[in-house]
Structure 1
């Protein structure tokens, strides 16, 4: 009897730590869905340990900004025929950002980034050149990426390793009177190289719902090392060094980063993503709590339409927020890209559906997330904010 009980215990322990394999059948996301994820606080977090049969406890992550994104089915599109879905985002060039739609594809070999459609957007360069008539313009166009990097490779299991390269081009027009430029074409070329290793498998714990413990999720841990090399061309020739220096860039500029991604089966996207710096300190974390069935009627994000004006904006400008329905007693919260709360204010409706929010003067230029919560602290709506 003792021998049999020991055998049963060994079997169940092994089953609890059995690794999963991601395939086209169990890891292909739906082509159209609404995605919700949280930018969590990095306080007290450490990078995950690697290896087999791990238990990663990240149940202590504190909620930050909520993002809700509609992912659309574009499998019938003709301009980026390899794409199956698209989602909105921002294309950045230094502190400037243009709204863009990013396209993803899936085939028998895996998931991959296909390209983007950029919105035509112009920005004054007063802060850089001192001349309000100098302009940087993102050209509205469709860009197909060159090369391929699989974000997921099918099939994938521990300890697989793969990689790839991809080139992305950003087309701009530049007008700078001091250089005699009038809508001179500029191209920023970025070449990505990635190495992806399935560095572990086991079970993952996410933040609990209320007082209930989270359900362990069987996951694979993917460790990604990425390098990006930038080149800049002005009218087809390498950009002059003095001009590049004015934008804080240089020819052949190289940047590297590392991040960890947790995947499970039959789920639309990564469960948890952790970015680390060169010393393995956590600098950014995003997660999807509903991967463990944690989103209940009290936690699920309720969609509410919110508009923010002006956007882009300046730090000394008051924001005007308009909602389709009024919310009294809630709060407006501003988060940076690392999920840190940088400003908050009560949501006091000045005209039933109209709110005002004063930005702190010390905020640095960049991308932020403005979130409106109800009286219970539940997110109602979130919008990306570009601060110039």
Structure 2
């Protein structure tokens, strides 16, 4: 595969303009912020390598698996982050469970900047841990957590050869109830993060869209090295090792993750992402994805047009906490349109764990009864309802706690 890809690079050099690609403020005058679905590459994945000359990133021959991921992001405002204009969903693994946050970012005169995260109240049941009872829990409190230093995803301008870095930390405040020892104790997770970015490639990207149309774009390749260290505190003191073991955590938990990303103008998330896990040689790909529904034209963006409010306050999902006893869930829509619909359940990482079709018989108020899969595990999820044409109607959070 690598020999073939090298040949493509050689032939592309004669047909691709050698001018380097630069991302600056004018590159984001028509930016589109919305959620979209990514395809996971399963066969014939091109090798991404740094190069000082223009490359042809040829994804037209790749194979996609059945697994899909959904990137949930939307425009919005948060008084805690006045310079932010949009957010994206993040999933956190906490022992055998998970919780979610919204990471707030903005397009500023100096670049695409991330400011911090907000979280709704989320209760993680601890009845399944050693010594845990029905009433024991770790509650993620409703909060805004600002990064100690906002970090820049893409500085303006950025072109081949540029590099930048960011170091910051932030806290997640929780409340712990476990046995007789911990009754509504303060539990804090402090995360320290280091990022190193390098724009080390550029060129022309080609791929096949979901609808089999042909997509192409000019892209800038960015290589990312990250290190995260998690520390845990109870009532202001370092958490005891025994408690952390019970919760499935370790003090000073350190995570290294390495990425390659292909960015194009007017988009704040990468068109292609390769995740190498903890392989600092950028060789062994752990996961990868291509945003197939964002490739209509070289300079324009074709994405799902969202209707209604993202989290659909006009729509209601009930019950909104699943305890493992239900085999279905109901979605109330006050202003539905008759037609064919698709619903999908995504986990905290965005992976589509279940998808099926349903029919709304007539216009007006509707209750959509949704069958649940049997493979759900404890954690946070999203339920999405879309028309047959792909227009998103509502996105609703839900939590599954079966043990």
Scaled to the shorter chain, the TM-score interval is 0.7 to 0.9
Q: Aligned pair 1:319/2:329, yes or no?
A: yes
- 2 CA distance for matches of 1:154 and 1:70? 22
Separation of aligned partners in 1, 2:388 and 2:266: 34
In the TM superposition, what is the alpha-carbon distance from 1:251 to its structure 2 partner? 0.6
Give the TM-score taking structure 2 as reference length.
0.77
Correspondence for 2:294 among 267, 290, 296: 290
**CA distance 1:21–1:272, change in 2 (3 Å):** same
Aligned residue in 2 for 1:153: 155
Q: Does residue 72 of structure 1 match 2:81?
A: no
SS in 2 for 1:303: coil
Q: Would the aligned equivalents of 2:73 and 2:89 in 1 still touch at CA under 8 Å?
A: no
CA distance in 1, matches of 2:41, 2:170: 30
Q: Provide the residue aligned with 1:35 in structure 2.
A: 34
- Residue 323 (structure 2) pairs with residue 310 (structure 1): no
Deviates most, 242-251 or 52-61: 52-61
- Determine the structure 1 residue equivalent to 2:235: 235
- Counterpart for residue 139 of structure 2: 137
Q: Does the 8 Å CA contact 1:209/1:295 hold for their aligned counterparts?
A: no
SS in 2 for 1:355: strand
Greater CA drift, 236-245 or 62-71: 62-71
- Per-residue CA deviation, residues 344-371 of structure 1 (Å, 9 max, x unaligned), is 3341559972222333333333444434
Quote the Cα distance in structure 2 between the aligned partners of 1:25 and 1:345: 41
1:370 maps to which residue? 383
Cα offset, 1:26, TM superposition = 2.4
2:34 is paired with a residue of what secondary structure? strand
Tell me the residue number matched to 1:251.
251
Partner deviation per Cα, 1:296-336 (whole Å, 9 max, x = no partner): 9x974453655433334345422222333155544433345
What is the distance in 1 between the residues matched to 2:88 and 2:118? 10
CA distance in 2, matches of 1:267, 1:343: 28
- Residues 1:170 and 1:321: Cα distance change in structure 2 (over 3 Å): same
Q: Structure 1 80/371 Cα, relative in aligned 2: closer, same or farther at 3 Å?
A: closer
- Runs of 4+ that moved beyond 6 A: none
Cα separation, 2, equivalents of 1:241 and 1:151 = 35
**Range with greater deviation from structure 2 (128-137 or 228-237):** 128-137
1:130-160 superposed Cα distances (whole Å, 9 cap, x missing partner):
3112122222232211134321122211122
- Answering whether residue 192 of structure 2 is matched by residue 188 of structure 1, we say no
Residues 295, 13 of structure 1: alpha-carbon distance in 2 compared, 3 angstrom cutoff:
closer
SS of residue paired to 2:322: coil
The farther-off stretch of 45-54 and 246-255 is 45-54
How large is the RMSD of aligned CA atoms in angstroms? Answer: 3.6
CA, structure 1 residues 67+158, in 2 after alignment: closer, same or farther (shift >3 Å)?
closer
Report how far residue 253 of structure 1 moved: 1.0
Deviation for aligned residue 1:71? 0.9
Task: Report matched runs for 1:1-388 at 5 Å.
Answer: 13=14, 16-27=17-28, 34-44=33-43, 46=45, 48-50=47-49, 51=51, 52-59=53-60, 60=62, 62=64, 64=68, 66-67=70-71, 69-73=73-77, 77=79, 79-81=80-82, 83-87=83-87, 89=89, 92=92, 94=94, 96=97, 100-128=101-129, 129-178=131-180, 180-208=181-209, 210-214=211-215, 216-277=216-277, 278=279, 280-285=284-289, 287=291, 289-290=293-294, 292-293=296-297, 300-301=304-305, 303=307, 305=312, 307-317=316-326, 318-323=328-333, 324-336=335-347, 341-348=352-359, 353-375=366-388, 380-388=393-401
The gaps in structure 1 that reach 5 residues or longer are 1-9
SS of the equivalent of 2:42 reads coil
Alpha-carbon distance between aligned partners in 1 of 2:190 and 2:115, rounded to the nearest angstrom: 16
CA contact (8 A) 1:47 1:276 kept: no
Helix, strand or coil at the partner of 1:149: strand
